[in-house]
Amino acid sequence: MRSQRLLSMLLLLQIRQRMTARELADELGVSERTVLRDVLALAEADIPVFAEQGRHGGIVLLPGSRLDVNRLTPPEVDALRLLGLDPSQAAQLGIDTATTQRKLATRGAPATAAIPLSELVMIDNRAWFASEVVGADPAGLAKDLQSGVRLRISYRRSAQRRPTTITVDPYGILARAGRWYLVADHRDQPRLLALERLTRWKVLDEPRRLRPDVDLASVSRELMDDLERGGNSVVITALLDSDRLDLARRILGTRLRTVEPVDDQRVRITMGYDRLEAVRQLLQFAEHLMITDPPEAATRLTELALLTAAQYQGPSRTTFPTAAGDADRRPDQPERPDSDRRLRVRPSQPR
């Protein structure tokens, strides 16, 4: 619809102030002639938009002009309420969401309108059972990033005891699953740096040096896609109790590649990892999962299980009670005799 296109044009100009007719046409999916007709229509409606001639000309929105929320349709106001950060993340950035919501509320809605989606949908990006994360302050870092300069940061990589000092060219910060990350290039390579392990930063008197034709959104997507698709070098096949499949989907996420029913009680699953050592993640499935391929993965999981058991073995303790595990027995399974109440490592051959 033309009204929606005119609104989109205003929003684009409000963000960029000046754009060429070609740029607007590409963004809006119309011809340059249509863009010029729309500019004329906006000018006739007393909106301060005009076309400048010359080599450096373009479509210009007068500085200081702002989009009035009264020009937004009810669905657009609803979308503004739903998009973006949840209140907790916004507070970490120093954003007053309460004031914003009050301003949007003044827009109102038609008396005959259905219940707004913003009243039926709640957004909370925090991870389940997540503790309060300490580390770099997102609001302070975001403020320094607005200057468009390089940073010297002290960053501790996972499993390292002490931080390392490096110089980075930042694109911005990313909020994902209740965590904040600095997205930056280090030596022309993209990095995803957890703010909880970023101990300090210093603003340098040098403009950031970003790679051409990329931005925060594209680099973030590249890093996240690489992380989730990275688990392809080691493919593990296992038999899993069917009543643990929902748990497997929650824990494994995109690492769970295929699920194939075997019988009423088991499924065959395949998982992708970036290295064999990652098989330790499967320890939490205990006796409910058995690796069938590759043999070296089954061997490594056996070693890890024995090492775990050794942590609890003392001079007067040679068996390992599994009474808690009996609570997970299926009704058709008999209770294990006391002589069998000990850690059992299954062989790698399928049952």
Buried b (16+ CB within 10 A) or exposed e, 247-266: ebeeebeebbeeeeeeeeeb
> What three-state secondary structure class fits 280?
helix
Q: Which of 112-116, 201-205, 307-311 has the lowest mean pLDDT?
A: 112-116
The tens digit of pLDDT for each residue in 277-320 reads 999 999 999 999 999 999 999 999 999 999 999 998 866 554 54
User: Residue 346's Cα: distance from chain center in Å?
Assistant: 36
Average pLDDT over residues 75-104: 65
Q: Output the pTM of the full model.
A: 0.60
Residue with tokens 């060429």: 20
Q: Give the Cβ contact number of residue 110 at 10 Å.
A: 7
Q: Greater confidence, 315 or 36?
A: 36
Give the pLDDT confidence score for residue 106 in this predicted structure: 57
The tens digit of pLDDT for each residue in 214-248 reads 999 999 999 988 887 765 789 999 999 999 999 99
Question: All domains of the chain, ordered by start, with CATH?
Answer: 2-61 (1.10.10.10), 73-119 (no CATH), 138-227 (2.30.30), 234-340 (3.30.70)
Q: Rounded to whole angstroms, how far apart are CA atoms 217 and 145?
A: 15
Query: Would you state the structure tokens that stand for residue 42, as one six-digit string?
Result: 């906006």
Assess contact for 261 and 267: CB atoms under 8 A.
yes
| Most confident listed range (22-26, 49-53, 89-93, 312-316) | 22-26
Would you call 301 exposed, middle or buried from its count of C-beta atoms within 10 A (0-12, 13-18, 19+)?
buried
Query: Would you state the structure tokens that stand for residue 77, as one six-digit string?
Result: 């106001």
Rama region for 213: left / alpha / beta (φ>0; ψ in -120 to 50; rest): left
Average pLDDT over residues 137-160: 92
DSSP state of 83: S
* Cis before 347? omega within 30: no
Give the pLDDT confidence score for residue 287 in this predicted structure: 95
Output phi, psi for 41, to 5 deg: -65, -40
Give the pLDDT confidence score for residue 73 in this predicted structure: 64
Q: How many CA atoms lie within 13 A of 279 on its CB side?
A: 26
Beta strands in 126-163 (DSSP E): 149-155
Which residue(s) pair with 314 in the sheet?
Answer: 317
Q: Rounded to whole angstroms, how far apart are CA atoms 88 and 95?
A: 10
User: Residue 243's Cα: distance from chain center in Å?
Assistant: 28
Edge-to-edge strands of the sheet including 58-61?
A: 18-19, 58-61, 49-52
Q: Greater confidence, 310 or 65?
A: 310
